[in-house]
Chain A
Amino acid sequence: MKEYIIRLVYVEMLGHDASFGYIHAVKMIHDDSLLVKRTGYLAVTLFLNEDHDLIILIVNTIQKDLKSDNYLVVCAALNAVCKLINEETIPAVLPQIVELLAHPKEAVRKKAIMALHRFYQKSPSSVSHLVSNFRKRLCDNDPGVMGATLCPLFDLITNDVNSYKDLVISFVSILKQVAERRLPKAYDYHQMPAPFIQIKLLKILALLGSSDKQASENMYTVVGDIFRKCDSSSNIGNAVLYECICCVSSIYPNPKLLESAADAISRFLKSDSHNLKYMGIDALGRLIKISPEIAEQHQLAVIDCLEDPDDTLKRKTFELLYKMTKSTNVEVIVDRMIDYMNSINDNHYKTEIASRCVELAEQFAPSNQWFIQTMNKVFEHAGDLVNIKVAHNLMRLIAEGFGEDDDTADSQLRSSAVESYLHILGEPKLPSVFLQVICWVLGEYGTADGKYSASYITGKLCDVAEAYSNDETVKAYAVTALMKIYAFEIAAGRKVDMLPECHSLMEEFLASHSTDLQQRAYELQAVIGLDAHAVESILPSDASCEDIEVDKALSFLNDYIQEAIEKGAQPYIPESERTGMLNISNFRNQDHHEASSHGLRFEAYELPKQTVQARIPPASLASTELVPVPEPMYPRESYQTTTVPSVSSDAASTELKLRLDGVQKRWGRQTHFPSTSTSNSTSLKTVNGITQVDGSNTANSRTRETYDSRKQVEISPEKQKLAASLFGGPSKTEKKSATGHKSSKPSSHMVKSHAPKSSMEVASEKTSVQQPPDLLDFGEPTVKSTAPSLDPFKDLEGLLEPTTQVSSAVNHSSTAAVTKSPDIMGLYTETTAGAHHKDSDILSGLSNPPMTNMVGGTTTMQVAQSSKGPNLKDSLEKDALVRQMGVTPSSQNPNLFKDILG
């Protein structure tokens, strides 16, 4: 039988289904023979996952085997526990496993700890009361058990560092003992004392010492010892060394340790083994966060790795470059990345590197021109892989310029973008996302500088729409762009004559299956039919980034509410009060009389209880949307809500139904004005979009400002000198003395090998060598005025600053991104949770027509409103607008339509 089961394991291993035999494996675990039982356990762990139906049959056996006298049986059962017990079955075996923690056999204790570890991974709450056991087992007198305990402790500490600070001393003393060879010889591996335990301990110490000076100080001695003791001629010694470097770069910095780490890294990088080079590059990437200057010494090695044919090494090097990118070297690095991106065809990595390029380009772009070109390249080669958000970001940047208040620069940027896009359109096949950007930009700015005629641009757009006839999004973008161009033409008082191909395109779209396309085509038709004045107000030129205020309080509805209330409608009750009311209405089910004595009496409308219960949530939600939070202007309303907290919910629901009817009529009427409502919605979107992106934008512009100020302040005498010392061979020595010994070290290093290297490398060397002076100004602008620029040590001081600066910039943008995402999330979670399509439709119906009047209206009110939690309303509005465009809100990006219509 055993042989057959092993054959089955083979069958599965070679990729064939062997589920017919699973039951026999399950039977085997009942066998009396230990070997057969163990094989049975092995087979079930290989065959089954924890949610398999047969697990039920196994749990019982496991329970029995955990009680066995034979420790091998217990071990076999514990192995199975680690693989097969799921969340629901944990309680069935947990007590027995806790007992086994005190088993006389160390193998059993070890496996029991690992079983608990598994439970912790599966469901941390199930073993939260047993965490102290892990601490206890750390002091087990068997090193194997102690070593195993480090695994769960590592996980625990990763999740919650602060509760385990007290263990630092224990870990340090264990590590010390291990390093001093106090463990049994059996744990030695290639003359290293228990290297795997050392590595695990170093990992834990790195976690515990991270940004904790006090804890780190306890570790310095032992880590220093290990640095000294490690034998760097064996692989395992280097593995421990590498772990030491990781630890040093994570804990509170200590100059001596950093020095040894830098030494170890240079040994790694100089080694012939690719494995060690790889580790060296990785370690360099870690250490560079703390001491950026060490990269200078290794530039050549890094460049060698970049040129290496080995793909893995190359990628790791790109990762390092990504970490050390600054405004000075961004061009070289991004160019390199794009080149590499083009040369690979692994989509997973391509996506990653494309997004990195975009991130770096956004963060450090030296000029607009360069930025546009870089983005074009990225889109051209990896357009289908980059996030759609990147495209929207690009459009926004083109629309808003680069945060400088310089209109000519902005328009220059736009016309250069238009030009490059018109050029690129000649390419045979372009990714959809890129085409969307192109269409949008052409629509918005194609005719703005008067260089190209409207008919030329429209002709191009028609070509796009025809060439990519199976991509509806692109077609939609193209139609909207056409509409914008015609609108601008009409507004400028020129006569519009549609090209014949445009006519035929429109006819096709008018009969399109996509409602979205149809809608756009009809809008286009309607716009063309209008006179110049009307067109200008619908689609003002270059208005994509103007802020349009949204009346979130829906104050234009006040009259309507007044009217409704006068007719006897129920006033709006804030949500907080409403939940209380629900409770009361539940209560009233039991004691009707008491509850009805409160407040207004609406018994006449009362509905059967069951239906009421079911209907309350939607109804109450609807009321949130329909009526704004009470305002001082409505004394009556607020009076009612405050004095009558327990309004009859039944009545509310019926009243709301009445109101819905009225509203629906209104909505129905409004749909006759598609163009107004859409342009309206566009603007609303834009506002939302802009407020969302503002954060990152300011972050970006801030970094850019600092760069600019640097550029202006600095006449760059040092830069020139450094450049001279790089390239001007004869005058090398005197320049060196001027720049100081520290910075000359890398440069002279460079000069030596400069000649045989390709010009590309030289460029990159130059840029990175130029860093110190730049950074100096960047980080400490005051140094400039106080100290003469020749002081090299100031340079070095300055080196430490910029990383924090840069990282803070990164933080800015990342927080902005974070704040952005919950917005979107909120939007959809709330709408789906609330899920009242009808309601939201109504809302938009209500909000749209008056919105046109209210634009530029009450800001203060809006602000007051927003503090009261407009999120739900806001999101429902968005949702409704999206819906209006004929798209279900499952799309994760509400900004999509802003861009199409903006």
Chain B
Amino acid sequence: MGIRFILMVNKQGQTRLAQYYEWLTLEERRALEGEIVRKCLARNEQQCSFVEHRNYKIVYRRYASLFFLVGVDNDENELAILEFIHLLVETMDRHFGNVCELDIMLHLEKAHFMLEEMVMNGCIVETSKANILTPVQLLEKT
């Protein structure tokens, strides 16, 4: 399975993007998001970017006001996930040009399309920015 969910949450704890690779009900999602966001927001810069939560781990990374949180299985390579977050941000950056929280808010579907290209069934399937962005750009033209 690998990746269980990807969340983008801002500093106020509002979810900006959520993608789950296993089904959770609305209440479960809300509870989970609340718990982990509280956990991650409480940590400082020096502490490591991994948090154990229940039976899985959360890898998080902060970009300005936006937190990227990825829930992964215990045997996943945390450092690689951390870099995957950065790859996602670089990809969005290339598409939006200087991406910020507002871009994701206003183009939620595009952020999702990119994620759909990169991760399927909880696995990282595509890491080439060109391959990720081609379909998204083609969609824009139609």
Contact = CB atoms under 8 A, between A and B. Distances in A.
Interface of A: 2, 6, 9-10, 12-17, 33-35, 38-39, 42, 46, 49-50, 72, 75, 79, 82, 107, 110-111, 114, 117-118, 121, 143-144, 147-148, 151, 184, 186-187, 189-190, 194-197, 199-200, 203, 235-236, 238-240, 242-243, 246, 273-279, 309-313, 315, 348-349
A151 B123 contact: yes
A310 B47 CA distance: 6
Interface string B42-65: 000011111110110000000000
Given A114-B120, A147-B126, A187-B127, A274 B139 contact: no
Contacts of B2: 151
Contacts of B123: 114, 117, 148, 151
Contacts of B51: 312
20 contacts: A6-B109, A14-B14, A15-B29, A34-B139, A42-B109, A42-B112, A72-B138, A72-B139, A110-B126, A114-B125, A118-B121, A148-B120, A151-B120, A186-B130, A239-B77, A239-B79, A242-B77, A273-B48, A275-B78, A348-B54
Given A50-B23, A79-B116, A312-B51, A236 B131 contact: no
A6 B108 contact: yes
B30 interface: yes
Given A17-B26, A111-B120, A315-B52, A195 B126 contact: no
B99 interface: no
Given A239-B77, A239-B82, 11 more contacts: A2-B109, A35-B140, A111-B120, A114-B123, A117-B123, A144-B131, A194-B127, A235-B86, A243-B80, A278-B78, A310-B48
Contacts of B82: 235, 239, 275
B98 to A, nearest CB: 20
A310 B46 CA distance: 9
A190 B49 CA distance: 20
Given A117-B121, A147-B125, A275-B48, A38 B79 contact: no
B78 A195 contact: no
B127 A35 contact: no
A114 B121 contact: yes
6 shortest A-B CB distances, which residue pairs?
Answer: A274-B48, A239-B79, A151-B123, A186-B128, A49-B23, A15-B30
B15 A312 contact: no
Interface in B77-113: 77-80, 82-84, 86-87, 108-109, 112-113
Nearest to B55: A348
B23 to A, nearest CB: 4
Contacts of B139: 34-35, 38, 72
B125 A151 contact: yes
A311 B46 CA distance: 12
Contacts of B55: 348
B124 interface: yes
Contacts of B49: 274-275
Nearest to B131: A144
A189 B112 contact: no
Contact of B50 (A42, A189, A278): A278
A349 B124 CA distance: 29
A187 B130 CA distance: 9
Contact of B47 (A14, A151, A246, A274): A274
A848 B18 CA distance: 62
Contacts of B15: 13-15
A312 B131 contact: no
B50 A121 contact: no
Nearest to A275: B48
Contacts of B54: 348
A107 B26 CA distance: 32
A203 to B, nearest CB: 8
Which of A46, A246, A275 has its CB near the most chain B CB atoms (within 10 A)?
A275
A312 B50 contact: yes
A199 B121 contact: no
A9 B127 CA distance: 26
A87 to B, nearest CB: 14
A313 B43 CA distance: 12
A195 B83 contact: yes
A242 B75 CA distance: 12
Nearest to B31: A15
B26 A15 contact: yes
A195 B79 CA distance: 11
A111 B117 CA distance: 9
B128 A243 contact: no
B133 to A, nearest CB: 10
A152 to B, nearest CB: 9
A778 B112 CA distance: 58
A279 B79 contact: yes
Contacts of B140: 35
A75 B135 contact: yes
A15 B26 CA distance: 6
Contacts of B80: 195-196, 199, 236, 239-240, 243
A734 B3 CA distance: 55
B52 A312 contact: yes
Contacts of A277: 48
B135 A312 contact: no
Contacts of B50: 275, 278, 312
B17 interface: yes
Centre residue among B79, B112, B130 by max chain A CB count within 10 A: B79
A701 B117 CA distance: 57
B52 A349 contact: yes
Given A39-B109, A239-B77, A313 B48 contact: yes
A184 B121 contact: no
A278 B18 contact: no
A867 B83 CA distance: 59
Most buried by A among B17, B23, B33, B125: B125
Contacts of B124: 196, 200
Contacts of A39: 109
A144 B46 CA distance: 36
A802 B139 CA distance: 62
Contacts of A236: 79-80, 83
Contacts of A348: 54-55
A75 B33 CA distance: 30
A110 B126 CA distance: 9
Nearest to B48: A274
A143 B127 CA distance: 10
Nearest to A2: B109
A309 B43 CA distance: 11
A238 B79 contact: yes
A238 B124 CA distance: 18
Contacts of A278: 48, 50, 78
Given A15-B29, A349-B52, A33 B142 contact: yes
A42 B116 contact: yes
Contacts of A72: 135, 138-139
A275 B79 contact: yes
A312 B48 contact: yes
Contacts of A147: 125-127
A609 to B, nearest CB: 48
Nearest to A348: B54
Nearest to B24: A49
Contacts of A349: 52
Nearest to A15: B30
Contacts of A50: 23
Nearest to A282: B78
B87 to A, nearest CB: 6
Contacts of A118: 120-121
Contacts of B46: 274, 310
Q: With a 10 A CB-CB cut-off, give which of B23, B46, B126 has the most chain A CB atoms.
A: B126
Contacts of A239: 77, 79-80, 82-83
B86 to A, nearest CB: 8
Contacts of A186: 128-131
A194 B84 CA distance: 12
B77 A199 contact: yes
Nearest to B33: A15
Contacts of A311: 47
